[in-house]
Structure 1
Amino acid sequence: MIPAERQRKILFMLKSQQVVSIVELADLLNVSHMTVRRDIEKLEKQGRVNSVSGGVQLTEVLHSELSRDMKIMQFSQQKEQIGKRAVDLISPNSTVYLDAGTTSLEVAHQLSNRGDLVIVTNDFSIATLLMAHSSHEIYHTGGKADRDNQSTVGPKVADFLLDMNIDIAFISTSSWSLRGLSTPNENKITVKRAIAKVSKKVCLISDSSKYGKIATFHALDIEKIDLVITDANLSDNATSDLQDKGVEVIRSIG
């Protein structure tokens, strides 16, 4: 059986089963575990599946994002843990970028007792919080307003960022995988790519529920990320795959 036919069979099985194990696929296809893993790796590069511990699942397609008000109620404990780990990475007197999002907002909360940083953000809530509760120097990027996300997006934001030199950037996302970050909002692409270009260190901050999802627009290759800060529920298999790509992984446990 040629690889393309095996891969079609794998996808067919996944349509009726949420997760299929490596052992089960090897038996069904009458090939070695290594051959199955190579087929899965090929499908994963295409964004069609994601590896999980001991097996594989179909990639979940994200067609739209929840509003900011809905996001802020989800995974609050994980976001707090991620925020605490993130601030430990910030050296004194650094220039820091905080991407729009509720996990980034938690980082901002954790930074409110400091005042030594230059903070750049496209998030209205983050800017408002830090203006009221810190003495950091704050820059807002301006740009086109995204009401649902309470932030700004588009090429004007990217132009602003390209004139900055960022020591460490914390990027958020609603969907990411071994391939990288994606978004249903085309206007976010230029922002993600601009900040990755001008930052010495790029950190993805995202709870594990968003891993294995893919949206319409590919925003950033995973190789552009230096470090992922997530929660303890990211699988060992996903962690190992990311490390093989040269991405450091911190799984926060509180």
Structure 2
Amino acid sequence: MSEPASPRLPRTLRQRRIVDHLSEVSSATAAELSALTGVSVMTIHRDIEDLAHRGILRRFHGGVSVLPTSVFESSSEFRLQTRGAAKEALARRAVRFVEPGMSVMLDDSTTVLALARLLNDVGPLTVITNYRQAVEVLRENDDIRLIVVGGHYSRTHDSYIAMPSHESVDSYAVDVVFQSTSAMGADMTYHQEQDIVLMKRAMLRSGDTRVLMMDGTKVGRTSLHHYVPVSDYTDVILTDDVDTETVDRVEKNARVHLVSIRG
């Protein structure tokens, strides 16, 4: 089959367009992606095979999807490519909780990774994390004492997940813990994977101030496992695309900070 006559995107940009599109519509057929990108269905199938091999999307009968289901979390690599503006807005608000000299714990969410990038400019800090990407962001900063916790390496999450006792995490007491998770309602948070739930709970127990960072696409949803009640957090940072009724309900459980993602 010959390629359409329209200008052809470079492969990397084409695959980014595919991922961005699927993050908005949940799923699509190869024919739909062909029309979107201006390349043949055969080329789209090669892109799908590559992205599936990298763990960015899933194939099913009749189409492909990249959004996490209530059972399976999408890969860290995919999550790094989505909702960038929202994550940066959440991070700019979150960094206001941090002062030089503090101890900070970061989970393995890509939302919190946006905050890690800002910590390089704060000053002397002790940062504890189980996320390899956060280690890469911070490891060359002489002002940051970096401590890595966890156990076995999870390729899906690109992080280190401790055994159920989580003794390596429970031994710390930090000024502030920053987390995000897969889904939340007004009263409860959720995640698809039990080992991640156990790791996040152990990390949350370490913090005096406990901050949850969530963009609007995660609010009003559930996943397979209950994580912790929203009231276990002292503060929740939300993007302003969350409806006001939900915001009011969340405020009964924790202090809410809204950030704008418009403009």
TM-score by length of 1: 0.72
Q: Which amino acid aligns with 2:224?
A: T
Q: Which amino acid aligns with 1:227?
A: D
Counterparts in 2 of 1:120 and 1:227: CA distance versus 1, 3 Å? same
**Counterpart contact for 1:227–1:248, Cα < 8 Å:** yes
TM-score by length of 2: 0.70
Q: Which amino acid aligns with 1:116?
A: P
- Partner of residue 102, structure 1: 110
Q: Output aligned runs, 1:1-254, within 5 Å.
A: 62-133=70-141, 135-155=143-163, 158-245=166-253, 247-253=254-260
Unaligned runs of 5+ in 1: 1-59
> C-alpha displacement at 1:134, in angstroms?
5.5
Structure 2 CA distance for aligned equivalents of residues 157 and 231 of structure 1:
34
Q: Identity, % of aligned pairs?
A: 21
Structure 1 CA distance for aligned equivalents of residues 219 and 70 of structure 2:
11
Provide the secondary structure at the position in 2 that maps to 1:66: coil
**Counterpart contact for 1:82–1:252, Cα < 8 Å:** yes
> C-alpha displacement at 1:115, in angstroms?
3.3
> C-alpha displacement at 1:70, in angstroms?
1.0
Structure 1 CA distance for aligned equivalents of residues 149 and 164 of structure 2:
8
Provide the secondary structure at the position in 1 that maps to 2:101: coil
Q: Which amino acid aligns with 1:250?
A: H
Q: Which amino acid aligns with 1:194?
A: A
Q: How many residues align?
A: 194
Unaligned runs of 5+ in 2: 1-67
Structure 2 CA distance for aligned equivalents of residues 115 and 158 of structure 1:
29
**Counterpart contact for 2:71–2:193, Cα < 8 Å:** no
Counterparts in 2 of 1:94 and 1:200: CA distance versus 1, 3 Å? same
Structure 2 CA distance for aligned equivalents of residues 95 and 157 of structure 1:
22
Counterparts in 2 of 1:251 and 1:72: CA distance versus 1, 3 Å? same
Structure 1 CA distance for aligned equivalents of residues 143 and 100 of structure 2:
14
Higher relative contact order structure (alpha carbons within 8 Å, sequence separation ≥ 6): 1
**Counterpart contact for 2:184–2:218, Cα < 8 Å:** yes
- For the aligned residue pairs, the C-alpha RMSD in angstroms reads 1.8
